Amino acid sequence: MEVTGGRTEVPLISIKSMAPSPTDLTRLLRRTESVVPRHDLESRIGRPLRVKLGLDPTAPAVTLGWAVVLRKLRDFQEQGHTAVLIVGDFTAQVGDPSQKSDTRRRLSAEEVRGYAQAVLTQFEKVLLPEPLEIRYNSEWLAKLNMNEILDLTSTATVAQMLERGDFAKRYESNNPISVMEFMYPFLQGYDSVAVQADVELGGSDQLWNLMMGRVIQERYGQKPQVAMTTPLLLGTDGVAKMSQSLGNYIGVDEPPAEMYGKVMSIPDSLMEHWFRLATELTPTEIDDLVKGSQDGSVHPRDAKRLLARSITELYWDADAAREAEAGFDRVFVRHLAPEQVDELGLPPGDPIHLSTVLRDAGLVGSSSEARRLLKQGAISIDGTRVQDESVARNVLVDAVVQIGKRRFVRFVDSLT
């Protein structure tokens, strides 16, 4: 890659643009935590902007957490600005150290490629097809030579890097920090140079990296980007930020019934947070809901049903959301089996060893888990709880077995 006249030349893959529509700054600022510098955004907003968002494919799902910042990118699209979505296939192999207390495992190129393919189609559930550029940062990062890397790293000192909160904590605690991790903010900042970003979006944990991008752009003769961050969405546990590694997430492409049911399972204390970050309800509508919940005019159950419908409809449609709600009511309000249940053939033998059958079918992780669920009364046959591992074959034939709250299977006789 050549840097000529302070400008990095990178071939564009797919550019689609349109004239910007009248700007709604209030809409752009909604669900943001930091805008640095805000006056710079206000001065630039009258012309078409290149708005960058980089996401590293380190897992196969696009979660509701990712969708918070993706929807902010869509806000810019709806006002005619070009969304520049960078798939960090190169930086994913380095690993973003943000909010990490130790060195993370380095992903292989093959793993990253697999994750990238998985998430690309899911982006379509959030972003508009245009104006949009989708770029892979290996286009330019993989081509940097040693002179260019040394020039890039001269932008900041070690002391400046250690001012970053997570690095400072690890250094003070004598936890290792690899030089490769130091490289990550430089590489992310160079992405902004490569695509000539006017605005860069990120979660609140990315502000330091976004500010480094401003410094690096100046180093290469570009006008520094505006750094805009969105709050982090707490996961379904209501404790930690939504993360695939923690399992406290909902994916944007999960089936409507699964999505609706998972939202209904979150703690009540999480509802306002999710209404504000994960739905398209207006701030006034959300304020009214919060007030109603406080004065007793809105029942928490009804508020949560609205939350589940709103999120499911956002990624599917109104009909799918209604069907998901009806299915949820059938199982959890009327305590009936779902209308559609997967069928599974029973193995030979009589009686049937239930824990083994459930394990082999992948309905539980192990026989010991099945035994624990049986002991807890969390397994039922046609609505009747069972605790014995051995069940007569004729009892299971054509019966619906429920495991926990959300897993159902209908057994059929494989011998007939």
Q: What is the predicted pLDDT for the residue at 23? A: 62
Tell me what pLDDT residue 42 has. Answer: 93
Are 217 and 260 part of one and the same domain?
no
Q: Three-state SS for 134? A: strand
CATH for 275: 1.10.240.10
Are 266 and 142 members of one domain? Answer: no
The two three-digit tokens of residue 359, written as one number: 């394990």
Task: Write out the two tokens for 130.
Answer: 């245009």
Residue 180 vs residues 73, 89, 93, 104, 299: alpha-carbon distances, Å: 29, 16, 10, 11, 51
In terms of Cα–Cα distance, which of 308, 205, 209, 251 is closest to 65? 251
Q: Are residues 304 and 347 in the same domain?
A: no
Domain C-terminal end among 332, 358, 392: 332
**225 and 77 co-located in one domain:** yes
Question: Which helix (H) or strand (E) segment is 132 a member of?
Answer: strand 132-136
How distant, in Å, are the alpha carbons of 115, 274, 305, 360 from that of 108? 11, 34, 41, 31
pLDDT-flagged residues of the chain (< 50)? 1-22, 99-103
1-34 pLDDT, tens digit per residue, is 333 333 334 333 333 333 444 468 999 999 999 9
Please check whether residue 240 lies inside any domain of the structure.
Answer: no
Residue 237 Cα distances to 203, 346, 363, angstroms: 19, 36, 22
Residues 98 and 193 in one domain: yes
The first and second tokens of residue 235, run together, are 């996961």
User: Smallest Cα–Cα separation from 225: which of 70, 99, 44, 78?
Assistant: 44
| 63 and 158 housed in the same domain | yes
* CATH code of 17's domain: 3.40.50.620
Last residue of a domain, one of 274, 309, 332: 332
pLDDT tens column, 69-98: 999 999 999 999 999 999 999 999 886 655
Is residue 133 in a domain? yes
Distance, in Å, from the CA atom of 331 to the CA atom of 403, rounded to the nearest integer, reads: 12
- The residue range of the domain holding 84 is 3-230
Calpha distance 172→380 (Å, rounded): 53
Same domain, 211 and 261: no
DSSP letters, 252-309, are TTS-HHHHHHHHHTS-GGGHHHHHHHHS---HHHHHHHHHHHHHTSS-HHHHHHHHHH
Task: Let me know whether 98 and 152 are in one domain.
Answer: yes
Task: Indicate whether 21 and 133 sit together in one domain.
Answer: yes
Q: Is residue 237 part of a domain?
A: no
Q: Are strands 407-413 and 343-346 parallel, antiparallel or unpaired?
A: parallel
Give a yes or no: residue 236 inside a domain: no
Q: Domain for residue 88, yes or no?
A: yes
Distance CA 389, CA 370 (A): 9
State whether 321 and 356 are in the same domain.
Answer: no
Distance of CA 356 to the CA centre of its chain: 35
HSE at residue 219, side-chain half, CA atoms within 13 A, is: 19
Q: Which pLDDT value is given to residue 398?
A: 82
> What total of structural domains would you count in the chain?
3
Q: Give yes or no: residues 317 and 181 share one domain.
A: no
CATH of the domain at 382: 3.10.290.10
Residue 326 counted as domain residue:
yes
Tokens of 307: 């939350």
